[in-house]
Amino acid sequence: MMVQPTEFERVAGAISVRAAELLNAPIRVTDDHGTIVASSCPVGGEPAAAEIAAAIRVPLRFDARGGEVIVLPSADGEVIPPRLAQALVDLVVSEIAIADRLPSQSDLKNRFIYELLHGETTDAAAVLRDARLLGMDLTPPRAVILIDASRFISPGGPLPGDAVRRARTVIRSVVGFFHLPNDTICAWDGANELAVLKASDTKNLENWVDRDGDPGPPGASWANLTALKRAARALLCRLRHDTGSDITVGIGRYHPGIDGLARSYSDAQAALSLGSRFHGPNHVHCLDSLGIPALVGVADEQTKLGLAQHLLSPLDHEPDLLRTLDTYFAADCCPTPTSQHLEIHRNTLGYRFDKIANLTGLDPRRFDDAVQIRLALVLRSLAA
């Protein structure tokens, strides 16, 4: 297994290269035990004893560790003043320290997406401009896929020293799965979650769209969700293979506009939290497939109303079925008084229940499904 260099060793390596270029002289860097940790000298080109005796030794302190920068005689015989050697070493160390304080492109991108998903940015034009500067295209419709990789990134609890490397492994796996780096925007929150801003129109989900079905208009919040779920399930398999660890995924609906990304993130976060609690890891969770927990556990009233309307939308043009449900619940879910009140045969009531189940995927004769339908009806009536 490759051992990651310490900060002192990393700086020593940079000093040996940069100082050798500036001074045109071989450079060695040792730690406080006299062990050579970096060198610009060619392999096998050990300096003579006289060269070592004539070397300039500059003290080095970095990351609470000490050592020396050993400047050997210049190859062209030019005499190097000790003060110049000291000044150049100090300059290189300062350059490295300044560079370390500057955020990287990845850091800027992660921060930008964090602020975007948490609703901290409101100027759409400025967001699109800044995204382009960071190499991201936010013009296609996008939905948020949230990945909980905590058991891989921090298997021992607190984040380990190689958390960044592990997070990058997950990101590479995501980008490699979708094959289009510009289509899939990934960001790491610095802890255990990774957000994927997946282009969610039909074109970008064509590998997962049901060829026999209509995915719906790209502007609708529930459009292409089935295809997005298929893509997320396949991604989950890839991530589990690449990491050898438990992974859980939450999916958010598409919402229009730049501020819709924050709403999609909120959907994905709620789905991930509720799904993990009730169904555990290694699943893809979405609000519309979580059942009762989603209708009860989501805090945002508009999200619950949208979910209720989505669940009942197949019945929008079926007034007889809606009346049947209202009567059924008013009769405490008893079939006989329901059919009597509706003045229909028990078999006809059964046919209506079958049609409701086929249209909505929820069978009112099953307890959990009946509770979902009832809650959805109540939520929708409250908003009317």
Please check whether the two domains, 105-290 and 312-383, share a CATH topology.
Answer: no
For the chain, the average pLDDT equals 85
| Residue 165 binned pLDDT confidence (cut-offs 50, 70, 90) | confident
Q: What would the pLDDT profile of 239-274 be if each residue is shown by its tens digit?
A: 999 999 999 999 998 888 899 999 999 999 999 999
CA-angle at 249, arms to 248 and 255, nearest 5°: 160
Nearest to 71 by CA among 13, 37, 20: 20
Does residue 60 carry a pLDDT above 90? no
Query: What's this model's pTM, rounded to 2 decimal places?
Result: 0.69
Span 340-361, mean pLDDT?
94
Backbone region of residue 178 per phi and psi (left: phi > 0; alpha: psi in -120 to 50; beta: other values): alpha
User: Which is the CATH superfamily of the domain at 105-290?
Assistant: Reverse transcriptase/Diguanylate cyclase domain (3.30.70.270)
Domain boundaries defined on the chain? 7-101, 105-290, 312-383
User: Which pLDDT does position 325 carry in this prediction?
Assistant: 96
Topology given in CATH for the domain delimited by 312-383: Arc Repressor Mutant, subunit A (1.10.10)
pLDDT at position 214, please? Answer: 45
CA-CA-CA-CA torsion sign (114, 116, 119, 123): positive
Which two tokens mark 3? Answer: 């051992």
Q: Is the pLDDT of residue 375 over 60?
A: yes
- Which residues fall within 8 angstroms of residue 60, CB to CB, at 6 or more apart? 12, 15, 29, 66, 67, 68, 69, 89, 93
Residue 10 has pLDDT above 70, yes or no: yes
Q: What is the distance between the alpha carbons of residues 194 and 272, in angstroms, rounded to a whole number?
A: 12
pLDDT of residue 261: 92
Highest mean pLDDT among 42-46, 95-99, 152-156: 152-156
The string of pLDDT tens digits covering residues 293-321 is 999 888 888 888 989 999 999 999 999 99
* Stretch (H or E) spanning 335: helix 335-342
Output the pLDDT for position 236: 95
Question: For the CA atoms of the chain, what is the radius of gyration?
Answer: 31
**Is 70 exceeded by the pLDDT of residue 226?**
yes
Mean pLDDT of 174-197: 81
pLDDT in the model for residue 3: 44
pLDDT tier at 145 (50, 70, 90 boundaries)? very high
